[in-house]
Amino acid sequence: MAGDNSSERIKYFVDGPFFVIRLCDPGSLNALNGNDYLYLAELLEKSERNSDVYFTVLQSSGRFFSSGADFQSISKAQETKTSEPELNKWLAYFVSRNVYVTDMFARHSKILICCMNGPAIGLSAALCALCDIVYSMNDKVYLLFPFSSIGLVTEGATSVTLPMKLGSSWTFESLLFSSPIRFDKLDGTIVAKNYEMDNVEKFNDAVLEELKSKIKPLYLPTLPDIKKLLRERYSQELSRANSVEVNDAIKYWVRGIPQRSFKQLSQKQRKHKL
């Protein structure tokens, strides 16, 4: 049974050792609200508890993997009247949620695989970067972290994952100037393989079929231990970054800076960098 955060935008199924999570709202470019992100974390926990599962596979639909935060949900949260101080409000809405979701991805013991069918934005892009293996549908995919353009700092432990995977120069360029990270920079750094396909359903099926073929000669119980050893040197860095990032960001939420940016984007008063 799904928790209270269950979402029509996100489905899942189990196929042998694969726990498959699919974003299925292509009409919104798979934008996610706060409860959607929490549900993603709940599904990771559900995968974690399944002793027959060794892989958690993230899939999507349509043109985008995920366009990031749902503008309308943030505007709605901003307009919600409460007697509590703004700090309390955004600690509950932003800090606790982001810490929890990022931590669930960072500490997930199963092999995390991301099937990028298209661009990923913001926190959704950060979660892609936290995955162990990323496959791209074609060379049109990109990651965009528009934190500086909406009045925020890094989130989703990107202050660790991006320098580690992309290198320092490209990380500074993309984060400081909210510049898209195109496929030519992702190839061989964050993206392990380009499937050179145009149909998202066929791409999702192809990745699963190839994974099933790859694991035939393997003793699957060794995989979580191998992952643990590979991530041991930087696992504490991810936890530290997760905490520092949200603590540095909260002052901007209290001052209403990102909320104004999201409202302008939702009302088309400013152009999104999609």
For residue 130 the two structure tokens come to: 């936290």
Spatial separation of the C-alpha atoms in residues 74 and 264, rounded to whole Å: 11
Q: Strands 10-15 and 18-23: what pairing?
A: antiparallel
3-state secondary structure of 112: strand
Q: Is 79 a catalytic residue?
A: no
- Residue 66 contacts residue 23 (beta carbons within 8 Å): yes
SS3 71: helix
Instruction: Count the helix, strand and coil residues of the chain and give each as a percent rounded to the nearest 5.
Output: 50, 15, 35
Contact between residue 194 and residue 139 where contact means Cβ atoms under 8 Å apart: yes
Catalytic residue selected from 155, 196, 209, 210: 155
Which bin fits 271, alpha (ψ -120 to 50), beta or left (φ > 0)? beta
DSSP character at residue 135: E
Residues annotated catalytic, as ranges: 155
